[in-house]
């Protein structure tokens, strides 16, 4: 039977600014997200019954209705009123879990795009984006990918105009035994930083405009030096999570590192380099201390798109 494979890439946050609280209880955010070439793969096959089944190469992931992939599949078939549609789904997990790299969100986006194709539903982009936003704040970004400003809960996207993906090398590290819960990190942020929150649409828009016109976008467009990267969740997570502190110390020692920061709600950390070769040299240099401290590490490139059907793997098998 035909098998369809969807690539689901990871993202990092080059900027994560918590502006304030929203009436829906979420935080109003101003972020810059960047897709990396570190990817999960979701393999899909239609089923003649109405079952949605999920298996994966990671035993610590739920494979029932609690998995965002299964939720995405069910939400999609309900949207088109076709509860008779079934699929066998297999996840090859490469993106670390609970890491702040949007692995789960990207897998959900991959399920939407892949099942839309597998079931021949032909939803338009805006329908897919609306379903994505219902599933999670980062899911719309994962559908689109590339270098994007993300506002609102994270679902309002504005592309950063770039002729090609930034030619950065990214050294990414994560301790395999530590994960951070996103609601916990935002809850802590509210507890510690609420006095710094601003209120109202005009104050939010002022901050968005400062980001659009600020030094980070200029650096991405090749017009200036890298500013210090801002992640407001790092400010609150770093004092609580030892491996974040240790990892930041190690990455800051990397020769040629332009900037170092935590991604999303952590605990994954990254350093930016002018080229991928520089990132690879830094990884060689730090291999022993990273291993001794128990970190896993990846050298990545930036890429310009989100989830995509794998053209080579879509043939009949």
Binders in 20-59 for ligand C5P, by CB under 6 A: 26-27, 29
Q: Which CB sits closer to ligand C5P, 27 or 281? A: 27
Any catalytic annotation for residue 49?
no
Q: Which CB sits closer to ligand C5P, 30 or 286? A: 30
Neighbouring C-beta atoms of residue 159, cutoff 10 Å? 11
**DSSP assignment, residue 231?**
B
Any catalytic annotation for residue 84?
no
Q: Which CB sits closer to ligand C5P, 166 or 306? A: 306
Q: Which CB sits closer to ligand C5P, 181 or 275? A: 181
HSE at residue 103, side-chain half, CA atoms within 13 A, is 21
Binders in 58-97 for ligand C5P, by CB under 6 A: none
Q: Catalytic residue, from 138, 174, 232, 278: name it.
A: 138
| C-alpha dist (Å) from residue 314 to 44, 83, 165, 317 | 10, 24, 26, 8
Angle in degrees, CA 212, 249, 167, rounded to 5: 40
- Nearest residue to ligand C5P on Cβ basis: 137
Q: Which CB sits closer to ligand C5P, 143 or 254? A: 143
Q: Which CB sits closer to ligand C5P, 109 or 272? A: 109
107 near ligand C5P (CB under 6 A): no
Name the strand (E) or helix (H) holding 13: strand 4-21
Compute the least distance from the CB of residue 66 to ligand C5P, in Å. Answer: 13
Among 153, 156, 212, 285, binds ligand C5P (CB under 6 A): 153
Residues 212-231, mask of contacts with ligand C5P (x by CB under 6 A): --------------------
The residues near 297 (Cβ < 8 Å, ≥ 6 apart) are 171, 172, 173, 283, 286, 287, 290
Compute the least distance from the CB of residue 133 to ligand C5P, in Å. Answer: 9
Binders in 240-269 for ligand C5P, by CB under 6 A: none
HSE at residue 172, side-chain half, CA atoms within 13 A, is 28
* Rg (alpha carbons) of the chain, rounded to whole number: 19
Compute the least distance from the CB of residue 29 to ligand C5P, in Å. Answer: 5
Residues 181-200, mask of contacts with ligand C5P (x by CB under 6 A): -xx--x--------------
Residues 117-146, mask of contacts with ligand C5P (x by CB under 6 A): -------------------xxx--------
Helix residue ranges per DSSP H, 53-124: 68-79, 103-118
Burial 164-193 (b: 16+ CB within 10 A, else e): ebbebbbbbbbbeebbbebeebbebbeeee
Report how far Cα 41 is from the mean position of its chain's Cα atoms.
15
Sign of the alpha-carbon torsion through 286, 291, 294, 296? positive
154 near ligand C5P (CB under 6 A): yes
Compute the least distance from the CB of residue 103 to ligand C5P, in Å. Answer: 12
Site size toward ligand C5P (CB under 6 A) is: 11
Cα–Cα distance for residue pair 120/125, rounded to 1 Å: 14
What are the residue numbers of the active site? 11, 138
Q: Interface with ligand C5P by CB under 6 A: which residues?
A: 26-27, 29, 136-138, 153-154, 182-183, 186
């Amino acid at each position: 039977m035909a098998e369809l494979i969807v690539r689901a890439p990871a993202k990092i946050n080059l900027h994560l600014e918590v502006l304030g609280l929203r009436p829906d209880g979420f935080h109003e955010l101003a972020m810059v997200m960047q897709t990396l070439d570190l990817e999960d793969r979701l393999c899909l096959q239609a089923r003649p019954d109405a079952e949605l089944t999920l298996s994966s190469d990671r035993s610590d992931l739920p494979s029932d209705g609690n998995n965002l992939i299964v939720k995405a599949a069910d939400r999609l078939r309900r949207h088109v009123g076709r509860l008779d549609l079934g699929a066998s789904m297999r996840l090859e997990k490469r993106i670390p879990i609970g890491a702040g790299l949007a692995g789960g969100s990207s897998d959900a986006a991959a399920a939407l795009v892949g099942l839309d194709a597998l079931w021949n539903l032909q939803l338009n982009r805006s329908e897919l984006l609306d379903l994505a936003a219902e599933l999670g704040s980062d899911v719309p970004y994962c559908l689109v990918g590339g270098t994007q400003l993300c506002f609102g809960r994270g679902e309002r996207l504005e592309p950063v105009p770039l002729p090609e993906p930034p030619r950065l090398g990214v050294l990414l590290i994560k301790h395999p035994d530590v994960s951070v819960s996103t609601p916990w990190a935002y809850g802590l942020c509210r507890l510690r930083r609420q006095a710094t929150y601003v209120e109202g649409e005009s104050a939010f828009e002022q901050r968005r405009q400062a980001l659009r016109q600020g030094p980070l976008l200029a650096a991405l467009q090749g017009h200036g030096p890298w500013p210090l990267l801002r992640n407001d969740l790092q400010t609150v997570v770093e004092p609580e999570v030892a491996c974040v502190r240790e990892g930041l110390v190690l990455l800051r020692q990397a020769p040629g590192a332009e900037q170092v920061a935590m991604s999303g709600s952590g605990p994954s950390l990254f350093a930016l380099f002018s080229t991928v070769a520089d990132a690879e040299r830094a990884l060689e240099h730090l291999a022993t201390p990273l291993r001794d401290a128990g970190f896993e590490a990846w050298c990545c490139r930036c890429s310009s798109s989100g989830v995509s059907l794998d053209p080579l793997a879509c043939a009949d098998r």
